[in-house]
Structure 1
Amino acid sequence: MGLVDDRSGVLTQDDFEELSRHAIRTNEALRLEFIGGKLGVKAVPDGDHGRIIAWLARLCMQADAGWWLFPEQGLHVETYLKGNARPDASLVPIETFVGQGEWASTDGVLMTVEVTSGDSDTDRRDRVDKPRAYAESRIPVYLLIDRESCEVLVYSQPDGVRYERLDRVPFGKAVRLPEPVNVELDTEPLKNWVH
């Protein structure tokens, strides 16, 4: 058997983890995820993408010095399919991921963040699969910074299946991230980091 089970055509969790270990050993620039029973490969972030994460990290740390915005920490998501996601960033109390491996529990995660990359899977991955997976995992806030539509989308109130609330604002307007984050973002600077 290769990476995909020839009998079913399905990539198993064990196969996914082996592919991820292979990418690390061979130093290939892959960012892998396993959501909804499907393997996903994310684009490697560009400079504007990194600048957005740095901007957000500073704002979150100013709001609470006990928080940290961890870039690319893998998370175990979903209850049914036991998926793995690698958000662009996760906001947590600073000690949350201590002692955990590459794929950490979502316990203690206050917010996950994705910044669109413009690759062919962005629409499905960031706008459909991720909100569902993060809501199933009951992550309180999912922040999507959509560089294609020049909007910030704030998903909140997960019910274990989906987020019940979605606030959408264009770049340039202020938006409040709800509890437990409770931070107001002035999104004007995001206009500078759209390509």
Structure 2
Amino acid sequence: MSLVEERSAVVLEQDEFEQLARDAIRANESLRLEFIDGKLGVKAVPDGNHGRIIQWLTRLCMQTNADWWLHPEQGLRVQTYRRGNARPDGALASSDHFVGQGEWASADGVVMVVEVTSNDADTNQRDRVEKPRAYAQTDIPVYLLIDRDSCEVKVHSQPDGVRYEQVVTVPFGKTVSLPDPVGIELDTSPLKDWVG
């Protein structure tokens, strides 16, 4: 058995996972681990289009509020039932929000998390099922999923501590509202250029 096997059924405490994640990064700097719903997962290395989407979204968020920053790959402690750790593609919070918090930070004060689907076998389960549930359990107000497979944007909002009560889906090319506390009208047209 290797140091990390994707989708492992190993039972870990949160502090054990965080040590394993640190050791994995020391062994391979491009390796990023997550621990969601009691399952160990490997986060795919982003491609150039993925990075461009995060850059585009960061600029839009800063235009709305100059104090905001879409923190890429910031580790968050998520979930209340099974303590977990997620590394969203972006976590929207004030620009100095994570100062002094280390690799794995509290999600308190995060107004939106963003995931951009990757071309890996685990995307469906991780980004479309497990992460929305984990982020809702953590009471993060908005979860934005940019789904490059289906060419859709899904805006999850109104977390009730178990799930998001509202999910709005639009195809790339339409405008969608990112509800308060984000409060942005998002024209998704540019996403058509970064599907691959």
Q: Normalising to structure 2: TM-score of the pair?
A: 0.93
Counterpart code for 1:132: R
1:7-39 alpha-carbon deviations (Å, 9 max, x no partner): x94233343222211122223421110000000
The 5-angstrom pairing of residues 50-65 of structure 1 reads: 50-65=51-66
Secondary structure of the 1:124 match is helix
Counterpart code for 2:88: P
Aligned to 2:137: 136
Please give the alpha-carbon distance, in whole angstroms, between the structure 1 residues aligned to 2:92 and 2:29: 27
Aligned to 2:167: 166
Aligned to 2:193: 192
Please give the alpha-carbon distance, in whole angstroms, between the structure 2 residues aligned to 1:89 and 1:9: 27
Structure 1 gap ranges (5+) = none
User: Is the 2:136–2:163 Cα contact (8 Å) retained in structure 1?
Assistant: yes
Note the C-alpha offset of 1:42: 1.2
Moved over 2 A (4+): 8-15
Secondary structure of the 1:181 match is coil
Residue correspondences, number = 191
The 5-angstrom pairing of residues 1-195 of structure 1 reads: 9-195=10-196
User: Is the 2:78–2:84 Cα contact (8 Å) retained in structure 1?
Assistant: yes
User: Is the 1:145–1:151 Cα contact (8 Å) retained in structure 2?
Assistant: yes
1:43-102 alpha-carbon deviations (Å, 9 max, x no partner): 100000000000000000000001111000000000011100000000001221111011
Structure-2 change in CA distance of 1:38 and 1:9 (3 Å): closer
Counterpart code for 1:126: D
Please give the alpha-carbon distance, in whole angstroms, between the structure 1 residues aligned to 2:41 and 2:85: 10
Please give the alpha-carbon distance, in whole angstroms, between the structure 1 residues aligned to 2:157 and 2:60: 19
Secondary structure of the 1:17 match is helix
Please give the alpha-carbon distance, in whole angstroms, between the structure 2 residues aligned to 1:156 and 1:14: 29
Structure 2 gap ranges (5+) = none
Please give the alpha-carbon distance, in whole angstroms, between the structure 2 residues aligned to 1:98 and 1:17: 18
Secondary structure of the 1:39 match is strand
Q: Normalising to structure 1: TM-score of the pair?
A: 0.94
Please give the alpha-carbon distance, in whole angstroms, between the structure 1 residues aligned to 2:10 and 2:113: 31
Secondary structure of the 1:145 match is strand
**Seq. identity, %:** 71
Please give the alpha-carbon distance, in whole angstroms, between the structure 2 residues aligned to 1:14 and 1:35: 14
Secondary structure of the 1:55 match is helix
